[in-house]
Amino acid sequence: MTAVKHIVLKKRPALQLTADDFELTTSTLRELKDGEFLIRNSFLSLDAGFRQWMNEGASDNYLQAMPLGQPVQSIVLGVVESSKNPAYPTGACVMGRTSWETHSIADGSDLMTIIEPEKDIPLEEYLAALGPSGMTAYFGLFDIGQPKPEDTILVSAAAGGVGSLVGQMAKTVGCTTIGISSSNEKCQWLQESLHYDHVINYRAPGGLDAGLSTIAPGGIDIYFDNVGGKMLDTAMTHLRMNARLVLCGAIAQYESAQREGVYNLWELITKRAKAEGFMFSDYVDRYGEATQKLAGWIREGKLSSPLNISEGIESTGAAFCDMLQGRNLGKSLVRL
Ligand SMILES: NC(=O)c1ccc[n+]([C@@H]2O[C@H](COP(=O)([O-])OP(=O)(O)OC[C@H]3O[C@@H](n4cnc5c(N)ncnc54)[C@H](OP(=O)(O)O)[C@@H]3O)[C@@H](O)[C@H]2O)c1
């Protein structure tokens, strides 16, 4: 009998999540029902957005608050080990939303897709640049941001999974890129490794406001917002005419008791700006298009995909906390 290891949500986090909020449990695999298949997970994707649904009462129109005592929801990538679903045969490589666990039983729902990995691309990329982070960056930037070569784009959480890709993609168009991060070391890495034209350490004296006044006195055309809150409010005071705000995430509020207000909406009116939210899962039908484009950029050396890989299911909780607290460069994954 195969023993399955899971990481469950043991208790509701008291604001800042800690590794103690999780617990490792084991179970024995049950028999598959008709329509189900068993996945041996190879990688878990650590996505900051899931932090939101760990809070009490966090259910919304997208997902339910995660139940206590149950494995933590996650996008995973793995191989079908046995199957009672002809659409997902044994040996198929799949990605979908299951949980932090070594094996998952799935039925083809919850974003489950078959992946056909190219030989020259490492498997883990299908959970990173060619996975949820890549899809988020690609559709957020190109469909909502609508970048043009003369545009200046500002990206928050620029050193993270999504942000590390957005700046590089904007460079393929010819945009001027400005990345925001929390330390001088991370900012230096953004410039040296990801070729951001300009960087702003939002914790430096004067913060984002002073940084933008110096770097982009004429304003920004696109703000790719991963953070929300005060940072979004500040960015709104630096918009050019017809600017686009890509509302991707709101990490500043996932661990805060009180949501920060946004006060500068008047700026959107006078700048004839657009703000639009999106979820990467809206674009499932177009993943093929994005995957082809992104894989091409990786092969041409135009897109590097920095990975921050933790080893073993036991490391998952701490790795997720590290990512939320900014101790990551690039996309955070767990290898099982
Ligand atoms: N709409 C969608 O479909 C979709 C899909 C995936 C992800 N997202 C969103 O994209 C964003 C990034 O997610 P990710 O998984 O790629 O995580 P990530 O960027 O790899 O990691 C999170 C980063 O956020 C920054 N951060 C944390 N707390 C912050 C705060 N209070 N203020 C400013 N920055 C803070 C930290 O970077 P620094 O050290 O640089 O501050 C940290 O490294 C999240 O908001 C997530 O919800 C949206």
**Percentage of the chain exceeding pLDDT 70:** 100
Q: Take atom 13 of ligand 1 and give the residue whose Cα is closest.
A: 48
**Helix, strand, coil percentages for the chain (3-state, nearest 5):** 35, 30, 40
Q: Which atom of ligand 1 is nearest to the CA of 249?
A: 45
Contact 140, 59 (CB under 8 A): no
Q: In 118-216, which ranges are E strands?
A: 152-155, 176-181, 198-201
Which pLDDT score, from 0 to 100, does residue 108 have?
A: 96
Q: Which atom of ligand 1 is nearest to the CA of 327?
A: 43
Distance CA 19, CA 12 (A): 12
189-216: average pLDDT: 98
Q: What's the pLDDT tens digit per position in 214-243?
A: 999 999 999 999 999 999 999 999 999 999
Q: What's the pLDDT tens digit per position in 251-309?
A: 999 998 788 889 999 999 999 999 999 999 999 999 999 999 999 999 999 999 999 99
Q: What's the pLDDT tens digit per position in 35-82?
A: 999 999 999 999 999 999 999 988 999 999 999 999 999 999 999 999
How many Cβ atoms sit within 10 Å of the Cβ of residue 197?
A: 17
Q: Taking 80 as the threshold, does the pLDDT of residue 315 lie above it?
A: yes
Distance CA 227, CA 51 (A): 13
Could you tell me how many helices (H) and strands (E) the chain has, helices first? Answer: 9, 15
Q: Which atom of ligand 1 is nearest to the CA of 140?
A: 1
Residue 226 has phi, psi (to 5 degrees) of: -100, 0
Per-residue pLDDT band for 335 (boundaries 50, 70, 90) equals: very high
Which pLDDT score, from 0 to 100, does residue 160 have?
A: 98
Any bridge partners for residue 83, and if so which?
A: 37
232 lines ligand 1 (CB under 6 A): no
Q: What's the pLDDT tens digit per position in 116-164?
A: 999 999 999 999 999 999 999 999 999 999 999 999 999 999 999 999 9
Contact 288, 130 (CB under 8 A): no
Q: Taking 80 as the threshold, does the pLDDT of residue 1 lie above it?
A: no
Question: Encoding tokens for residue 197?
Answer: 């034209």
**Alpha helices by DSSP H, the chain:** 132-139, 163-173, 184-194, 207-215, 229-235, 251-254, 266-270, 287-299, 316-324
Which pLDDT score, from 0 to 100, does residue 15 have?
A: 85
What is the chain's mean pLDDT, rounded? 96
136 lines ligand 1 (CB under 6 A): yes
97 lines ligand 1 (CB under 6 A): no
User: What is the whole-number distance in angstroms between the Cα of residue 1 and the centre of ligand 1?
Assistant: 39
190 lines ligand 1 (CB under 6 A): no
Where do we find the tokens 């729902």? 109
Q: Take atom 37 of ligand 1 and give the residue whose Cα is closest.
A: 326
Contact 249, 229 (CB under 8 A): no
Distance CA 137, CA 304 (A): 13
145 lines ligand 1 (CB under 6 A): no
pTM above 0.75, yes or no: yes
Contacts 24+ apart (CB under 8 A), 317-323: 317/7, 317/19, 317/21, 317/22, 318/19, 319/46, 320/17, 320/46, 320/51, 321/17, 321/18, 321/19, 323/46, 323/48, 323/160, 323/161
Any bridge partners for residue 179, and if so which?
A: 155, 199
The gap between the terminal CA atoms of the chain, to the nearest Å, is 19
User: What is the whole-number distance in angstroms between the Cα of residue 118 and the centre of ligand 1?
Assistant: 28
Nearest to 228 by CA among 214, 246, 209, 244: 246
228 lines ligand 1 (CB under 6 A): no
Question: Encoding tokens for residue 173?
Answer: 């168009």
What is the identity of the amino acid at 164? S
Any bridge partners for residue 103, and if so which?
A: 40
Distance CA 35, CA 320 (A): 32
Distance CA 122, CA 164 (A): 18
246-250: average pLDDT: 97
Q: Which atom of ligand 1 is nearest to the CA of 255?
A: 31
Per DSSP, the three-state class of 255 is: coil
- Radius of gyration in angstroms for the set of CA atoms belonging to the chain, rounded to a whole number: 20
Residue 42 has phi, psi (to 5 degrees) of: -100, -40
